[in-house]
Amino acid sequence: MSRRTLSVPTNAALPHTQRMPATSPDVSKTLSRLSRQSLLELVLEWLDKKNRDYCQPFLARGPDDDEDGDAPYTAATSEEEVIEAYKELKARKGGKREVVDRILEGDWKHGITLYQLAMAETRYLLDHPNSLRWNALQLSKVTGSGGTSADDSVEVIDESAATSLPRFHATTFVLNLQKEVAPVTKAHYYITRVKAFGISLLRKEDDGKGLERLDVRMEDPFPPTSVQAEASEEPWTPDVHLSFQGSHVFAGVRQLVEQGIVDGEKMPGWMAGDAGVSVGVVKEGRVREKA
C-alpha cells in the first residue's frame, strides 16, 4: 500500500524507527484487520525486550510530559505498566475497537513505527495463510551436462547438483536488494523467520515516493575538433552541473523515453538509476558517488 504521508530525504533503507502518524488511515486499517486476540498478542510482542527498541510506547517520564488533560488515556510511566494494562485487557472480554483506540490515542499516540506495521501485517498473514496464493520455487544448478537435448547449446537443469548450491543467506539478499532498489524508491525492509512454516518472510514496503533529486557534475572534456586535435591543444572541460528534481526522478526519465523525447539507446545508464547514485560525478562516461 502507498504511504503517501511519509517522505524521507534519503535513498537509504527507511529505518525501523520511522514513525507513521497515529491518525494515518493506513495505520488504523492495518490494525483493524486483526482480531482482538491477535491485537493484544501483537502489542505484547511489541513490548518484548527484543523488539522494544523499535516499538517504544509513549511514556510520561516527568510530571509535565503528559499535559493534555483531555486525553482519553493517562500516559504510563514505564513499559511494564503498559504491559500490565494490555494483560488486563486480554484477561477480560471486549471488542477490538477499544484495543485499537488505546493504541492510537494512548500508548502510541506519537506514532506507529514501520517495524510495528510490518509486524502487524505479518501477523495478519499468519492468521489468514489462505488470503494469498503461495508459489514455491526450487533453486537448481544449470549445467550443460545434466541431460540430453536436441540442441547441444541449450542448457538443462542438473537435479543431482542441487546439493552443491550455495546457501541462501536472507540478510545478505536483503542488503543487496536494498542496494538495487535504492535509486528507484525508498523502502522499508522487514524479514522474519516463521518456524511453523519453515520459511523466511520478506516484506518490501515503499513510501509511495521515488528518488526526489539527482545531482551530478560532468568532468568529461568536450570532444576536440579536428583543428584542436592537430594542434595538440589541451582539451576543454566545461563546468556542467545537472540537477533533476521531482516526486520520482527516474520514473520521469522513463516517461521521457517512452514519449520519444529522450533517446533511450543513447542515454547513459546512470540517468535511469542503474548506478545506484543520487549525488555523483561523471568522468569517462561513468558516474561515481560523490565523497
What are the pLDDT digits (tens) for 213-270? 788 888 888 877 776 666 677 777 888 888 888 877 777 887 888 888 888 888 887 7
Q: Residue 164: what pLDDT? A: 59
Q: Residue 149: what pLDDT? A: 47
pTM > 0.75: yes or no: no
What string of H, E and C letters represents the secondary structure of 174-224?
Answer: HHHHHHHHCCCEEEEEEEEEECCCCEEEEEEEEEEEECCEEEEEECCCCCC
What cell does 178 get?
536494498
Q: How many whole angstroms separate alpha carbon 266 and alpha carbon 215?
A: 20
Element housing 241 (H / E):
strand 240-245
Q: How many whole angstroms separate alpha carbon 209 and alpha carbon 8?
A: 9
Q: Give which of 168, 163, 124, 99 is closest to 30, Cα–Cα.
A: 124
Element housing 244 (H / E):
strand 240-245
Lowest mean pLDDT among 83-92, 141-150, 226-235: 141-150
* 250 compared with 74, residue with greater pLDDT: 74
Q: How many whole angstroms separate alpha carbon 60 and alpha carbon 134?
A: 44
pLDDT at 79 over 90: yes
Percent of the chain with pLDDT over 70: 76
Percent of the chain with pLDDT over 90: 30
Q: Residue 177: what pLDDT? A: 81
Three-point CA angle 111, 114, 115, nearest 5°: 110
What residues contact 119, with CB distance under 8 A and at least 6 apart?
A: 42, 45, 46, 51, 55, 190
- Is residue 219 within 8 A of residue 283, CB to CB? The reply is yes
Q: 170-195: per-residue pLDDT in tens? A: 788 888 887 777 666 678 888 888 88
What cell does 38 get?
491477535
**pLDDT, the chain, mean:** 79
Q: Residue 196: what pLDDT? A: 76
What cell does 124 get?
495478519
